[in-house]
Amino acid sequence: MKLNNLGRRLRRLSRRIIDRTGVPTRRFATALSSAAGAPGDGFHVLIAPPGAGNIGDQAMVEAFVASADRPVVVVTRHDEDFVLPADLHDRARFVALPRLLYGDGPEHDRDVRSLGALLEGAATVSIVGADIMDGIYSLRPSVRRATIAAVAAGRGFDTSVIGFSWNAAAPAPARKALRLAGAAGTRLLLRDPASAARVRDLGVRGVVETADIVFTDDRLADDLPVALKDLSEPYALINASGLIARSVDQAVEYAPVIAELRDRGIHVVLLPHVLRSSADDLAACRAVAEAVGPEGVTLVESMLGPAEIRRLATKASVVVTGRMHLAVMSLGQGVPAVTLASQGKVEGLMRLFEWPELCVPPRIGMGVGLRDIVRRALDDPESRVRVDRGAHRARELARSNIERVGQGGHG
């Protein structure tokens, strides 16, 4: 087992070294440019984020499809990464290219050619940027996304990287790839002021300051999920992040918050936002549920859709979350969302809402401070008015993500 782990580490290190030479990126760009068709006006192409159990990724894809004025071709890694709700089902088709962003060898080459063929006749090419452009999570896919943008723009396609954040610690290959995308004419839609400033400081062209694309989607489910049909107000939404659980025991840190909510007679809904084997929120939420006990607590154990999340958030008194898109969907409904900031992407979001206190660095011992922020949000009679003002600004800014693809409906 140790030898297997060592082998994986060595392969990963070797791949990083090779990627940093820039040779694979140049080969990728050349191959895609050779295969790419010509622009047209028949449909939009969207390079999707990973999805596969991430409600935030689902929300971004749904927001794009909901805004589109013509059919959308969504490029994914796997066939099952996304399932659209009934109201959007006929407005997009999915094409899985599993080795495009993550692979190499003949299968990767095949997927590059397939993407080039898919571009033939596209009115626009959009890449969901989110938190996967700066190379912090995984360098090679980040560089390839930016390279797709650079090639598409260079071939004359109306190209955008929509709604993304940028970490100040982004590695050099990611910075270079983004510069090339901007220089080729790609619109780089940074979703918060801090990220926009970081990218401008790098001398990158094409920067447009926006907000997250999910702010453009206001669809609400008609009803709450069956598991929550008996839920009555007041209630709060609490998310424990599987990512943050790697370094902070949220069962301990959330205890003062949940005690405060119980004292106020506010029911607690523990809501996972990412349900997959890596960084699983459901396991983290279960740990919190087991630690605080069942009194006044409901654990959601299934993946809700974005429209269901918004419906649930509409009546919430407050939200505490380790996942940014739960914050976005809650803030969009006028609800204060205290958000644990793990990747440098939440600070700028809260600047849009002029409420920096809602951004909390996750750390051991944060529980009492977190409770105090929740307490102040609940006690402030102007809290919803304050959030509504920020949500209006965010929606106005977010429109730049969709202005090239329409405002919804079929074209």
The pLDDT tens digits of the residues spanning 14-56 come to 566 556 666 789 999 999 999 999 999 999 999 999 998 899 9
Judge whether 192 lies within some domain.
yes
Q: What is the CATH number of the domain that holds 346?
A: 3.40.50.2000
Which of 186, 210, 234 marks a domain boundary?
Answer: 210
Instruction: Give the orientation angle of helix 383-398 with respect to helix 324-331, to 10 degrees.
Output: 110
Write the DSSP string, 60-97: HHHHHHHH-SS-EEEEESSTTS----TTTGGGEEEEE-
Same domain, 176 and 248: no
Q: Among 294, 284, 395, 379, which residue's Cα sits nearest to residue 340? A: 284
Judge whether 127 lies within some domain.
yes
Same domain, 140 and 182: yes
Same domain, 196 and 274: no
In the sheet that holds 158-164, the strands lie side by side as 92-96, 72-76, 43-47, 122-130, 158-164, 187-190, 207-209
Euclidean distance between CA atoms 338 and 26, whole angstroms: 42
Euclidean distance between CA atoms 299 and 228, whole angstroms: 10
Which tokens in the block code for residue 209?
């300051």
How many C-beta atoms lie closer than 10 Å to residue 297's C-beta? 17
Same domain, 206 and 248: no
Judge whether 279 lies within some domain.
yes
Q: Write down the residue that tokens 């949500």 correspond to.
A: 391
Judge whether 297 lies within some domain.
yes
Same domain, 147 and 101: yes
Same domain, 264 and 348: yes
For the purposes of burial, counting CB atoms within 10 Å of the CB of 222, is it exposed (0-12), middle (13-18) or buried (19 or more)? Answer: exposed
Judge whether 219 lies within some domain.
no
Same domain, 166 and 292: no
Judge whether 405 lies within some domain.
no
Judge whether 388 lies within some domain.
yes
Same domain, 266 and 383: yes
Encode pLDDT of 333-350 as tens digits.
999 999 998 766 788 889
Q: Among 142, 166, 164, 146, which residue's Cα sits nearest to residue 154? A: 146
Q: What is the chain's Cα-based Rg?
A: 21
For the purposes of burial, counting CB atoms within 10 Å of the CB of 86, is it exposed (0-12), middle (13-18) or buried (19 or more)? Answer: exposed
Same domain, 172 and 266: no
Q: Is the four-CA dihedral 68, 72, 74, 79 of positive or negative sign?
A: positive
Q: What is the CATH number of the domain that holds 170?
A: 3.40.50
Residues contacting residue 357 through CB under 8 Å, at least 6 positions apart: 350, 373, 376
Write the DSSP string, 205-227: S-EEE---GGGG-----SS--GG
Which of 210, 242, 270 marks a domain boundary?
Answer: 210
Same domain, 259 and 376: yes
Which of 210, 236, 252 marks a domain boundary?
Answer: 210
| Ramachandran angles phi, psi of 189, nearest 5° | -95, 95
Average pLDDT, the chain: 93
How many structural domains comprise the chain? 2
Judge whether 403 lies within some domain.
no
Euclidean distance between CA atoms 262 and 382, whole angstroms: 22
Per-residue pLDDT of the chain (411 residues; tens, 9 = 90+): 455 666 666 655 556 655 666 678 999 999 999 999 999 999 999 999 999 889 999 999 999 999 999 999 999 999 999 999 999 999 999 999 999 999 999 999 999 999 999 999 999 999 999 999 999 989 999 999 999 999 999 999 999 999 999 999 999 999 999 999 999 999 999 999 889 999 999 999 999 999 999 999 999 999 888 889 889 999 999 999 999 999 999 999 999 999 999 999 999 999 999 998 778 999 999 999 999 999 999 999 999 999 999 999 999 999 999 999 999 999 999 999 999 987 667 888 898 999 999 999 999 999 999 999 999 999 999 999 999 999 999 999 999 999 999 865 443
State yes or no: cis peptide before 50, omega within 30 of 0.
no
Which tokens in the block code for residue 393?
């600004």
Residues contacting residue 126 through CB under 8 Å, at least 6 positions apart: 44, 45, 46, 47, 64, 159, 160, 161, 162, 404, 405
Same domain, 65 and 154: yes
Q: Record the pTM.
A: 0.92
Domain assignment of residue 391, given as a range = 226-396
Same domain, 130 and 256: no
In the sheet that holds 267-270, the strands lie side by side as 297-299, 267-270, 235-238, 319-321, 337-340, 359-360
